[in-house]
Each structure stands twice: as C-alpha cells, then as structure tokens.
Structure 1
Amino acid sequence: MSALRRWLHDTAGGLPATFWYLWSGLLINRAGAFVVLFLSLYLSDVRDASTALTGLVVGAYGAGGAVGVLLGGVLADRWGRRATLLWSHVASGATMVALAVTGNLLVIAVLATLLGVVHSMPSPAYVAAIIDVVPPERRSRAFNLQFWAFNLGMAVASLLAGVLAEASYLALFLVDAGAALTTAVLIAWKVPETLARSRRGAATGGVRPGGATGGGLRTALTDRTFLVFVGLTFVLAVLTTQTSTILPLSIRADGLGPSAYGLVVAVGGALIVLGQLFVPRLLDGHRKHRVLAVSTGLMGVGFGALAFADGLPLYLAACVTWTIGSMLAAPPNAEINAELAPAPLRARYQSVFYLTFPAAAFVAPTLGGVSLQYLGDGHWIVVGGVGLLAVVGHLLAGPPRERRVAALWSPGPPGSPGAPGSPAPTSSGPTSPVPGGGGRHSPP
C-alpha cells in the first residue's frame, strides 16, 4: 500500500486546483467528442454523400482547424487563456446544434469548417494555462495526466458513440454539444485567467530560445529547427488521423458496422488509459529521436497491416500495434516542444505545433477518400510507407536538434536559458507526453 501511495503521489501529487479544473473540463469535453469520430459515416449514411465528397467535407473541418489553432494561440497570448477556452466551447456547442438540424451539403460543409475552427482554438490555450499554473518540476506529471484524460475521454466517447450512432445521429450531435457547453460552464465557474502569470514569468527571466520576446507567429514560423520537428509531427498526425477519417470507411467496406469501429477505437483508448502513466519511466535514458523513430515505425506497420485486414480480430491487432507506437511517441514529442518554445510566445509556439493536427485532418480525408476509393486496400500500403519514411527523418533530424537544445540550455548571462533563476528544462525528470490540448484535433 505504501508503494501504491508513493506512486500516486509521484504521479498526481503537488498540482494546483486550477489544473484539476482544466483537467476535468478536458475529460468532460473529450468524453462527449462524438461528432468527429462519426462525421464521415454520418455524411455517407444519412446525407448520401459519395466517398470522395465525404472526404472533402471532413477535410473542410480540418482546414477550419488549421485556422482555429493559429487563432487560438494568438488570442490566448493576447486576449487570455480563460476567455479563449470559454467562448470557443460555447461556439462549439452552438455549431454542433446547427449541424444536427441542417440537411444541405453545402451548408454542412460551411458549418464543418466553422466547427473545425472552434474545436481547435482551445488546444494552445489549455497547454499555455497549464504551464502558467503548474510549477516547472510538476509539469511533466501534469501533461502526462492531461494526455491520459484525453484518451480516457476518447475511450468513453468511442463506446457511447457507437451505440448512439446506431440509435440516432441527432442524439450524437446534441450530446456532443452538451459536453462542450458543460465544459464552458466549468471554465466560467472555476478557472481564473492565467495570462498575467505568464507575463510575470517572462519579465523575471522566463525567456526561452534566443531570448526572443516578440515577433509573434513569425518567430515560430521561421524557426527552422522547430519547423523540422513540426513537419515530422505532421506525418505522425496524418497517420493518427486515419482512425477518425478513413478507418471507419474501410471498416464499413469490409462489412462491419459502426459498433465495430467504436470497439476498435475504444480498445486503443483503453490501452493508453491502462498503460500511458507507466510509459515515461520506461523511456527514461533513451534518446528522444530514437524513441520517435521506433514509435513512428510501429504506427506505419500498424496502419500498413490494414491492407490485409478483413475482419474485426485483424483490425484490433493492427490497432494495438499503432496505439503502442502512439504511446511511445507522446513523451518525447512533449519534451521537444517544451524545450524549443519561448515563454513570451508560449501559446503561439503551441499553436504552430498543434497546426499539424488540423492540417492532417484536412490532408488525411481529402487525399485518403480518393485514395481509398481508387486504390482500395492499397491506400494502407501507402500510409504505412509514409510512416516508414518518417523513421529515417527522425534519425537524421534528432542529433542536430539535440545540439541546438544543449546550446540553448548551456549556462549564460542571468535570465538566459540555463542561467540561475531561469526555468529548468523539462527533460530533468520523467518525460511528459504530448500535451493533450482541449480541442478535437489534439493528439490521440
């Protein structure tokens, strides 16, 4: 029992109340995230859209998300974390209600684009708020718990959504809207504005790479080392997004129903929920770029194996493979993202990082719908090949990035990274997962 208590304290102790309210809001919102999982089936089954048109409409959701994640980062740094979180969740609920009662495909495409915008806006604000309120020595635990809650909610959503989709797609939309609005109420009631804390931290020496304090999005968009990392994360995001865009269409083509798809996604979420809290210690001492190479390779193999899957057992086996890859990728991705981001531009760097997920949500269904229609199972061979190519990218990009990070955190003048009084790099303890964010484009 004492060992269990020590593990619980090490995993979840020492975190402020505001973090737990943010964590609860994320869990509630994610547990009701039904629409994104079943949007492609809704369009094809209820609105009689072709496979290619379904891919385009779902891709419009991803295109909106690309705008929303950048907008969310800018607003979170200027307007405030709390205000961005609150109003984006209110807008999400209202947009989903509108989608539930709209039958025109053109209007649905417009609303799907808007939904992508408001779904993506919370991600950088959630991460920035957590960094604002959680002490540096506890941030790895905080992000690990955040990622865990994200996937616990996903597992719940997958199980409930499969049942709701077979009973009523209208209920699917309305329950999702209710979850978003409940999260908005919780944020309005319990989450204070944290932007002032971030500004005080920057003023007292919390300045990260190069001491940058200005430049906005331009700084992040011209940071070449950071952009190489973002590009490789985009490949991972394209692989991951297959589960919510193309996978349900593939499962249906093999004669399986929505509940089978819900079970596949739930198994992946359950595996993460059961094992993710133990992953950081497992990876301690291993170089991050090598871990990312292994994890991306496993994801490539898992999705590539779907070319040979024609029944539920094979889909489940492939799901286990790519989920293990996703679990391994989470900690090093979060560490690298934290190490390269300047404190005064914290939310904006986060927004560029999170841009990979809505961008993938556009590319994966837009190209994937056409690919699946014309290549059939060959689509999964292409996806697997892309994942294996990214393995080489990680092995090549890792060493120069590590040298850059080492230089940034070397001792320097007061207030510079590595100097006395500056925040310690997050790699000084067990690693942390990819920040889960609060939007629906966040990493699985």
Structure 2
Amino acid sequence: MLQTAFSRYINNFKGFSREIWILTLITFINRAGTMVLPFLSKYLKEDLHFSYGEVGWVMVAFGFGSMLGSWLGGKLSDKIGFYKVMVFSLFSSGVFFFILQYITSFWGLCLGMFAIMTLADMFRPAMFVSLGAYAKPENRTRSLTLVRLAVNLGFAAGPALGGLIIMGIGYKGLFWIDGTSCIVSILIFALLVKEKKKVSHHDPHATILEAASVFKDKIFWLFLFVSFVTAMIFFQLFTTLPLYHSEKFGLTEFQTGLLMTLNGLLIFALEMPIVSYFERKMVQKLKIILWGTLLMAVSFYCLLINVWAGILIISMIIISIGEIFAFPFSNSFAMSRAPKGHEGRYMALYTMSFSLAHILSSKMGMEIIARFGYQINWFVMGTFGILATFCCIWIQKLVRLENR
C-alpha cells in the first residue's frame, strides 16, 4: 500500500519537458539562496537599529521596486522576449546583492531595496511566459506547481541554513550567498536552455483590442483584489511574524528558520498530489481558491491565542494548507483568463498585485503593531482574509452568469 502511494506520488511528476525541469532546478538554486528576505526585518531592526516605522518604509520601497519590476518584466517580455529578460534580471540582481550589504543608511537602503527589487522581479512575469512557451498545454497548471514546489523546497532549505549563517558569520554572509545563487542559477539556464521565440500571427489592430480587454475584464480585477489580499496576509510571514517569534516567545533566528522550513516541507510533500487530485476531479478553481483564502484567515485568528508557543506551529500548518489551495490555482486562473498570446500582460498584472501586497503588508503590519500591538494586527489580517473569501463567492456568481 505504501509502495502504491509512493508510485502515485511519483506519477504526478511525469510528462514534463526538459526545459521545465531546468527552469525548476534554477528556481530551486535561486530560492535556496534567497536567505535575506525572511530575515530582512530582523536585520534592519536588530543589526542596523531601525525603528518599526523605518523598517516599514524600507519594505515599502521593496514593494514599489517589485511592482515596477513586474510591470517592466511583462512589458519587455512582449517586446524583446522572456529569455533575455530572465537572464538580465537574475544576473544584475545577483551583482546588486553583493553591493547591498555595504549600504547601511536608511535612505540608502530605501533606494537600494527599490533598485534590487526592480531588477529581481522583472524575472517573475518573464518566467510565467516561459512556462507558456516550454510547457505542454495539458501540463501548464502542473508546470506552475512544479516551479512553485522548487520555490518552496528552496525556501525550506534557505531559512534554516540562513539562521545558522547569521549565528555563525552574521547577516553579511546572506548577501554573498544570495548574489551567488542568482548568478549561478542564470548561468545554468543560459547554458542549458535555448531561446524559444513565441511566433505571433496577430495583426496590430487585434493586439490593441486584446490589450484593452485586460482593463475591461471585471472578473479578473475582482480576482486581482483576492490575490492581493491573500498575498498581503501571507507576506506577514516574512515581515511581522519573525519579529513576533523573537519578541513574544524568545525564538532564535534558527527556530524561526525551522518554522519557515515547516511551511516549505508541507508544500513540497502535499502541493503536487493535491493539485493533481483536484485536476483529476475537475474541481472548480475558484472553489479551491475560496477554501485557501478562508484557511489563511483562520491561521491569523489562531495567533490571537498568545499564551502558548505551540500555536505558532498550528498557525503555520493552517496557512501552509491555505497556500497550497490558493496560490497554484490563482496562477492557473489568471492564465486561463488571458487571451491567447497575451498571457504575459495578464501575468504582469497578477504579479503586480503581489508586489502591491508587499508594500501594504509590511507598512500596515508594522504601523498596527507600533500603535496597537500584535493582537490587533492578527485580527485585522484575519478579517481581510474573510473579506477576500466573500469576494471569491461573488466572483463565482459572476463566472456562472458569464458562462450562461
């Protein structure tokens, strides 16, 4: 019986093209090296002695850079192709990580984080477009899930290792590893994957009409709001939660890293089988996103129980399952709304909703904590999750009307 379950699990990973596997490998290397992000708020607060407000503003600069990068990445992917954008983005952000460790002033770091995220997040929409080019149409959702698995497996290894590096050689080591992982991963990609140009047969007038349709797609804009809210509450994991672990429960960087690792391992073990199961059963994407959003909200209400450190593990398990339900199917729903040949434009807006979430998540979370404390922040984030759940119900009704 165990052998059957194992072969069934392995079968979920069959049928992908060579290019998709290489994309997955470089994503893993890049993510395993991304150790600065989970500890950024702690680095700014404890190493550079910034106030909560200043930490919030650096995170805002981070988010604005991410938004600009996502927009540029989508636009340039349509103009010069996803391949060139991916290579430029990872190589230049790798070099910039080496420089960033020497910037320690408040305004310097605001500008530095803005610049590095503009470069780094050009990669995301370009990578989504590359999945469209390299994946077989029937494998598109599973290809997205495979790349997300690489992100989460890398993220499972990264924070725990990052915690040990901080305790051993300090925060500076993280910048060196982060920069090196960006450069190594994109060199592997450039050497092993050939550029594949997407051939377009549209006339210019049709392109203009399709581009305008993105802004007229009401269902897609409502869906972007849901994506924004789920991302906003999820990003608390990297901004306010590491500080809460330390200030309320006295957890070390390594223990915080282990909690992040739990998230990554749960995603690695469960996401592909769950996605494959829902796809086999042909469950509506929006229904799965709704349950994911509700679970994320519940995970923050759990944190209101602040007398027992074990609640951090329970909350992490619930938010991880919520993430498994919400994020892969959000990716897939965004791609399915796009007119053929214009997925890049839709995916740029989708990734921008995550970037905007980064801006508001950190600033709002830090401000609420500074004025009212952690408990109010968890309540506000949970309530936002409930609001997004009701939006999902509304979108379901609109989709039913559209399909009549």
Question: Shorter-chain TM-score: which interval?
Answer: over 0.9
| Mapped partners of 2:286, 2:231: distance in 1 | 17
* 1:156 aligned partner: 157
1:111 to 2:78 alignment: no
What is the distance in 2 between the residues matched to 1:311 and 1:160? Answer: 26
Partner of 2:261: 266
Q: How do residues 203-352 of structure 1 correspond to structure 2 at under 5 angstroms? A: 213-214=207-208, 218-254=212-248, 255-283=250-278, 284-352=281-349
Gaps of 5+ in 2: none
Task: State the shift of 1:96 in Å.
Answer: 1.1
CA contact (8 A) 2:12 2:276 kept: no
Give the direction of change, closer, same or farther, for the CA distance of 1:137–1:96 in structure 2 (3 Å limit).
same
Q: CA deviation at 1:313?
A: 1.6
**DSSP-derived class of the 2:159 partner:** helix
Give the alignment of 1:388-427 within 5 angstroms: 388-404=386-402, 406=403
Give the conservation status (yes or no) of the 8 Å contact 1:217–1:349.
no
Change (3 A) 1:310 1:258: farther
Aligned to 1:429: none
- Helix, strand or coil at the partner of 1:12: coil
| 2:90 equivalent in structure 1 | 89
> Unaligned regions of 5+ residues in structure 1, if any?
205-210, 408-444
Moved more, 277-286 or 318-327: 277-286
Residue-by-residue CA offset, 1:150-187 (whole Å, 9 max, x unaligned): 11111111211111222310001110111001112112
2-structure distance, mates of 1:217, 1:369? 37
Tell me: CA distance 1:24–1:246, structure 2 relative to 1, closer, same or farther (3 Å): same
More helix by share: 2
CA distance 1:231–1:144, shift in 2 (3 Å)? same
Q: Check conservation: 2:70, 2:351, Cα contact below 8 A.
A: yes
Q: Matched residues in 1 for 2:4 and 2:318: separation?
A: 34
Asked whether the 8 Å contact 2:85–2:123 carries over to 1, the reply is yes
Instruction: Give 1:230 deviation, angstroms.
Output: 0.8
Matched, 1:360 2:361: no
Which segment is superposed worse, 283-292 or 294-303?
Answer: 283-292
What displacement does 1:217 show? 5.8
1:215–1:111 distance in 2 versus 1, CA, 3 Å: farther
3-state secondary structure, aligned to 2:363: helix
Does the residue aligned with 1:343 lie in a helix, a strand or coil?
coil
Report the AA paired with residue 297 of structure 2.
Answer: G
Q: Deviations over 1:2-53 (max 9, x none)?
A: 8755653x42223222111111111111111111111111111111100111
The residue that corresponds to 2:181 in the other structure is 179
Equivalent residue, structure 1, for 2:39: 38
Is this contact kept in 1: 2:259–2:313, CA < 8 A? Answer: yes
Pick closer, same or farther for the CA change 1:219–1:116 going to 2, 3 Å. farther
Deviates more, 1:254-263 or 1:176-185: 254-263
Q: Deviations 1:395-419 (Å, cap 9, x if unpaired)?
A: 1111212443x47xxxxxxxxxxxx
Instruction: Answer yes or no: is the 8 Å Cα contact 1:260–1:312 preserved in 2.
Output: no
Contact kept? 1:100, 1:170, Cα under 8 Å: yes
1:199 maps to 2:199: yes
Q: How does 1:72-87 map to 2 (within 5 A)?
A: 72-87=73-88
Aligned equivalents of 2:209, 2:94: Cα separation in 1: 33
User: What whole-Å deviation, never above 9, does each CA across 1:361-410 have from its counterpart, x for those lacking one?
Assistant: 11011111111111112110111111112111111111212443x47xxx
Partners of 1:58 and 1:170 in 2: CA distance:
19
Identity, % of aligned pairs? Answer: 25
Moved more, 234-243 or 311-320: 311-320
Is this contact kept in 2: 1:12–1:142, CA < 8 A?
Answer: no
The answer as to 2:377 corresponding to 1:379 is yes
Instruction: Please say if residues 93 and 180 of structure 1, whose CA atoms lie closer than 8 Å, have aligned partners that are also in contact.
Output: yes
How far residue 212 of structure 1 moved from its aligned partner, in angstroms, is: 5.4
Q: What corresponds to 2:51 in structure 1?
A: 50
Task: Pick closer, same or farther for the CA change 1:104–1:6 going to 2, 3 Å.
Answer: closer
Answer yes or no: is the 8 Å Cα contact 1:82–1:191 preserved in 2.
no
Give the paired residue count: 396
Question: What's the secondary structure of 1:342's corresponding residue?
Answer: coil
User: Quick one: structure 1 residues 232 and 110, their matched pair in 2 at CA, closer, same or farther if it must change by over 3 Å?
Assistant: same
1:128 Cα deviation (Å)? 0.8
| Secondary structure at 1:199 match in 2 | coil
For residues 295 and 251 of structure 1, the distance between their equivalents in structure 2, rounded to whole angstroms, comes to 24
C-alpha spacing 1:403/1:189, structure 2 compared with 1 (3 Å) = farther
CA distance in structure 1 between the aligned counterparts of 2:237 and 2:50, rounded to whole angstroms: 20
User: TM-score w.r.t. structure 2 length?
Assistant: 0.92
- Secondary structure of 2:304's counterpart equals helix
Distance 2:311 2:83 in 1: 44
Asked whether the equivalents of residues 144 and 328 of structure 2 are also in contact (C-alpha less than 8 Å), the reply is no
Q: Is the 8 A contact 2:29 2:185 kept in 1?
A: yes
Match of 1:410 in 2: none
Distance, in Å, in 2 between the alignment partners of 1:218 and 1:162 is 47
Asked if 1 retains the 8 angstrom alpha-carbon contact of 2:48 and 2:104, the reply is yes
* Secondary structure of the structure 2 residue equivalent to 1:251: helix
CA-atom RMSD in angstroms: 2.1
Q: Give a deviation string over 1:296-333, Cα, whole Å, max 9, x none.
A: 11111101222323553211111101111111113431
